[in-house]
């Protein structure tokens, strides 16, 4: 990156450290932190939306819709996360390519040849001739959807319980005042359920943060991948030879995750205090007495 770094084996001391920490692979390592934060920023609201849809469907009086919502939460929560990540991403990728092959492949042949899945080159997603950034973006999109689908099922279970925790007397009173069911849902149920849902959603947020190293299973090079790659012992065949430094890299990740979760706890605590204000809950009663 710098002119002084042209020959890494001819420098030492602070100059060597500066060149080492600004090498191309280290820049990829630093960018992987942005990738993880981007995943969390997109996945969290997407999973919450899917969970809200699942919880709302579970409360539906129309039996097929109710079974769909409850089935989504039960099936996804019943499968180990790592198995789901390994299986679902492959199945989703092959499903997309199969549907595309029906439109672009001339023979529309069945893509399975024994145990191998093959489609025509035009049906590959992304195309083989596409630049690397499109392959990375596609892998990231699959990762976001998979994370959102998994954690959306857990969020659906949390929100379903929170909806049931809202006192039914308030819902019945609103109906007695002439509100329709949709008005009761939007004006009474949803605003009050968040105080009951926040503890469970807070736990899910912490679990989601800790689950980000699973990105490596989905083909995304995350911070754990680069820490292991850069920290491993490097011989003289590499530009910057060094002994096994994985301990220091993983200690850095430990500090990052602890700091991130601590900041999350502070923010969630403030949100909880704000939602509990004036609510007929244990936290709200404690705030009333303190006031």
Task: Give the mean model confidence (pLDDT) for residues 155-161.
Answer: 94
Look at residue 218 in the predicted model and tell me its pLDDT: 76
Q: What is the CATH number of domain 3-290?
A: 1.10.3720.10
CA distance 64 to 45: 26
Q: pLDDT (tens digit, 9 = 90+) per residue, 191-222?
A: 889 889 999 999 999 999 988 888 877 778 88
- Which span out of 72-81, 152-161, 163-172 was modeled with the highest average pLDDT? 152-161
Look at residue 240 in the predicted model and tell me its pLDDT: 83
CA distance 5 to 27: 15
Question: Between these two residues, 47 and 277, which has the higher pLDDT value?
Answer: 47
How much is the pTM? 0.83
Look at residue 1 in the predicted model and tell me its pLDDT: 57
Question: Is 253 a residue whose pLDDT tops 90?
Answer: yes
Nearest C-alpha neighbor of 230 from the set 27, 26, 35:
26
Look at residue 286 in the predicted model and tell me its pLDDT: 56
3-state secondary structure the chain: CCHHHCCHHHCCHHHHHHHHHCCHHHHHHHHHHHHHHHHHHHHHHHHHHHHHHHHHHHCCCCHHHHHHHHHHHHHHHHCCHHHHHHHHHHHHHHHHHHHHHHHHCCCCCCCEECCEECCCHHHCCCCCCCCHHHHHHHHHHHHHHHHHHHHHHHHHHHHHHHHHHCCHHHHHHHHHCCCCHHHHHHHHHHHHHHHHHHHHHHHHHHHHHHHHHHHHHHCCCCHHHHHHHHHCCECCCCCCCECCCHHHHHHHHHHHHHHHHHHHHHHHHHHHHHHHCCCCCHHHHHHHHHC
Question: Is 277 a residue whose pLDDT tops 80?
Answer: no
CA distance 89 to 183: 39
Look at residue 287 in the predicted model and tell me its pLDDT: 53
Mean confidence (pLDDT) of the chain: 86
Look at residue 54 in the predicted model and tell me its pLDDT: 94
Domains of the chain, residue spans: 3-290
Question: Is 254 a residue whose pLDDT tops 60?
Answer: yes
Q: Is residue 209 within 8 Å of 261, Cβ to Cβ?
A: yes
Look at residue 53 in the predicted model and tell me its pLDDT: 95
Look at residue 139 in the predicted model and tell me its pLDDT: 85
Percent of the chain's residues with pLDDT above 90 = 34
Task: Give the mean model confidence (pLDDT) for residues 260-282.
Answer: 81
Q: pLDDT (tens digit, 9 = 90+) per residue, 71-128?
A: 999 999 888 888 888 888 888 888 888 888 888 888 777 788 777 888 888 888 888 7
Look at residue 258 in the predicted model and tell me its pLDDT: 94
């Amino acid at each position: 990156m710098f002119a002084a770094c042209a020959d890494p084996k001819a420098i030492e001391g602070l100059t060597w450290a500066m060149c080492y920490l600004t090498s191309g692979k280290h820049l990829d390592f630093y960018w992987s932190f942005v990738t993880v934060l981007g995943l969390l920023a997109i996945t969290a609201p997407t999973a919450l939306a899917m969970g809200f849809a699942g919880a709302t469907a579970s409360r539906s009086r129309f039996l097929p819709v109710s079974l769909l919502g409850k089935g989504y939460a039960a099936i996804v929560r019943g499968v180990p996360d790592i198995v789901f990540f390994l299986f679902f991403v492959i199945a989703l990728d092959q499903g997309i390519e199969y549907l595309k092959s029906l439109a672009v492949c001339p023979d529309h042949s069945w893509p399975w040849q024994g145990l191998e899945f093959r489609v025509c080159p035009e049906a590959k997603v992304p195309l083989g001739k596409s630049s690397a950034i499109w392959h990375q973006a596609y892998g990231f999109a699959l990762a976001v959807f998979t994370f959102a689908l998994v954690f959306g099922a857990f969020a659906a279970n949390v929100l379903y319980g929170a909806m049931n925790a809202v006192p039914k007397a308030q819902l019945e009173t609103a109906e007695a005042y002439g509100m329709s069911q949709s008005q009761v849902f939007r004006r009474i149920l949803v605003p009050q359920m968040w105080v009951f849902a926040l503890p469970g959603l807070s736990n899910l947020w912490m679990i989601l943060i800790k689950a980000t190293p699973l990105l490596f299973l989905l083909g995304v090079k995350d911070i754990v991948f680069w820490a292991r790659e850069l920290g491993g012992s490097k011989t003289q065949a590499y530009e910057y030879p060094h002994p096994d430094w994985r301990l220091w890299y993983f200690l850095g990740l430990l500090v990052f995750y602890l700091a991130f979760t601590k900041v999350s706890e502070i923010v969630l605590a403030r949100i909880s205090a704000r939602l509990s204000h004036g609510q007929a809950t244990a936290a709200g009663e404690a705030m009333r007495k303190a006031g």
